Amino acid sequence: MPIYRTGRTCYFTESPTHPYRGIFMHFSRKMMNIKPSATLAINAKVLELKARGVSVTSLAVGEPDFPTPEHIREAGIQAIRDGFTRYTAVPGIPELREAIAEYFRRIYGVNPSPDCTIASNGGKQSLYNLFLALLNPGDEVLIPVPYWVSYPAMVYLCQGVPVYVRATSAQHFKITVDQLEQNRTEKTRILIFNSPSNPSGSCYTEEECAAIVQWAVQHNIFIISDEIYDQLVYEPAKPTGLAVWWERYPEHIAIVNGLAKSFAMTGWRVGYTLADPSLIKILNQITGQTTANICSIAQKAAVAALTGSYDCVASMREAFQRRRDMSWKEVSSWKNVFCPKPDGAFYLFADISGLYTEALPDATAVCSMLLEKAGVALVPGDAFGDPACVRFSYAVADDVLMDALHRIRKALYEA
């Protein structure tokens, strides 16, 4: 995008739609490539419509509809009652770091020391700080497409260069080692790996993970594995985190996770990173200089979540699997729509390009029409790098979900 220096020491772009066009202030050039988060922007639009009394169902933002389980909320309340409201150690209280390490023992059978962990303000901060810690200007980051909306923006902000590796719906949105190799250059520094994937819900098998890790290690490429949906994998797929590979190659892999999706704790903002202690030290410095510790109360709630019973996680997973099955059955029956069956997370990512016409030429036009005619909000695939698709979140009650899908079907086929 061309940049013009004006007489008033300001930069602006010629894009008529860019949010900073024509604003006469001195912004960082880094912001030129940064758009608002599409998922959060659509969520904001839905909230605004609802506030105006418009009836709209959101299948847009990825947020569990369940309340945070009672015992976790109680731990937060107790922390307030105990006056646990001061600064804590920057990487998190020792109990939390121990609880994170314990999670990896419990789920993946690996045995990290708490020194290999750091708490963050949601998985987003873990990811951003990793890019900040690892990238030099011009370093390339391999991003499989479709990708979660914030990866490219974070890479740009850290002065890296996103290199997109496209996985089509026909390949169930999973990239291969051959594709990675075709896109590797001497500047390739990081591969961002996300299984189960947001937006596609695809999960890589153990063999596919092994092949990708071995390729990355061989070429000294660092893997950031975003495993925020690791508890939401549905049979017959099997959870395949990279923790066992991390134990073998800690200098080549960092794992990002958090409690938002698995424990229905989006608003508490608790994420974490598992990495080699030398990298944790750098992340700790970044955190100490930018945000300090995460909320003390949320840390106590997170300890209760990670060390308590996981029955609540299992029952939410059961509900998501049921919704995955019912929503996929419905959407995959639609004419000219192709939706690979997702293995995990809580999204369907459907190729709707077969529906495009002169009047509805792209996913954004289809989503606008559906918001207006069906009263349902979806996210156009462009936000995830795939303009042929739309994302449906099925993290809503069964009846709300099916009612919304029936309204979409009516708007698409009975108009």
What residues make contact with ligand GLU under the rule CB under 6 A? 37, 39-40, 61-62, 148-150, 198
Distance of closest approach, residue 194 Cβ to ligand GLU, in angstroms: 11
Rounded distance between C-alpha atoms, residue 146 and residue 140, angstroms: 17
Q: Which helix (H) or strand (E) holds 366?
A: helix 363-373
The candidate with the shortest Cα–Cα distance to 96, out of 261, 304, 287, 241, is: 304
Say what the alpha-carbon torsion angle 80, 85, 91, 95 is, to the nearest 10 degrees: -40
Please say which residue, 40 or 177, places its beta carbon nearer to ligand GLU: 40
Please say which residue, 200 or 293, places its beta carbon nearer to ligand GLU: 200
Distance of closest approach, residue 97 Cβ to ligand GLU, in angstroms: 24
Distance of closest approach, residue 392 Cβ to ligand GLU, in angstroms: 11
Distance of closest approach, residue 150 Cβ to ligand GLU, in angstroms: 6
Please say which residue, 91 or 271, places its beta carbon nearer to ligand GLU: 271
**Is omega for the bond preceding 19 within 30 degrees of 0, making it cis?**
no
Please say which residue, 124 or 184, places its beta carbon nearer to ligand GLU: 124
Distance of closest approach, residue 332 Cβ to ligand GLU, in angstroms: 22
Q: How many CB atoms lie within 10 A of CB 275?
A: 27
Rounded distance between C-alpha atoms, residue 232 and residue 261, angstroms: 8
What Rg do the C-alpha atoms of the chain give, in angstroms?
Answer: 21
Rounded distance between C-alpha atoms, residue 59 and residue 370, angstroms: 11
Q: How many CB atoms lie within 10 A of CB 179?
A: 16
Q: How many CB atoms lie within 10 A of CB 399?
A: 8
Residue 38 contacts residue 379 (beta carbons within 8 Å): yes
Distance of closest approach, residue 182 Cβ to ligand GLU, in angstroms: 28
Please say which residue, 198 or 225, places its beta carbon nearer to ligand GLU: 198
Please say which residue, 226 or 276, places its beta carbon nearer to ligand GLU: 226
Distance of closest approach, residue 260 Cβ to ligand GLU, in angstroms: 8
Please say which residue, 117 or 198, places its beta carbon nearer to ligand GLU: 198
Distance of closest approach, residue 47 Cβ to ligand GLU, in angstroms: 13
Distance of closest approach, residue 295 Cβ to ligand GLU, in angstroms: 17
Residue 166 contacts residue 145 (beta carbons within 8 Å): yes
Please say which residue, 114 or 258, places its beta carbon nearer to ligand GLU: 258
Distance of closest approach, residue 56 Cβ to ligand GLU, in angstroms: 16
Distance of closest approach, residue 122 Cβ to ligand GLU, in angstroms: 8
Please say which residue, 12 or 392, places its beta carbon nearer to ligand GLU: 392
DSSP SS3 for 102: helix
Rounded distance between C-alpha atoms, residue 194 and residue 202, angstroms: 9
Please say which residue, 59 or 141, places its beta carbon nearer to ligand GLU: 59
DSSP 231-257: T-B-TTS----SHHHHHH-TTTEEEEE
Q: 413: burial class by Cβ within 10 Å (0-12, 13-18, 19+)?
A: exposed
Quote the strand ranges of 27-172, DSSP E: 57-58, 117-120, 140-145, 161-166
Tokens encoding 165: 């590796």
Please say which residue, 149 or 376, places its beta carbon nearer to ligand GLU: 149
Tokens encoding 362: 């792209």
DSSP SS3 for 286: helix
Cα atoms found within 13 Å of the Cα of residue 156, Cβ hemisphere only? 13
Which residue has the CB atom at the shortest distance from ligand GLU?
A: 62
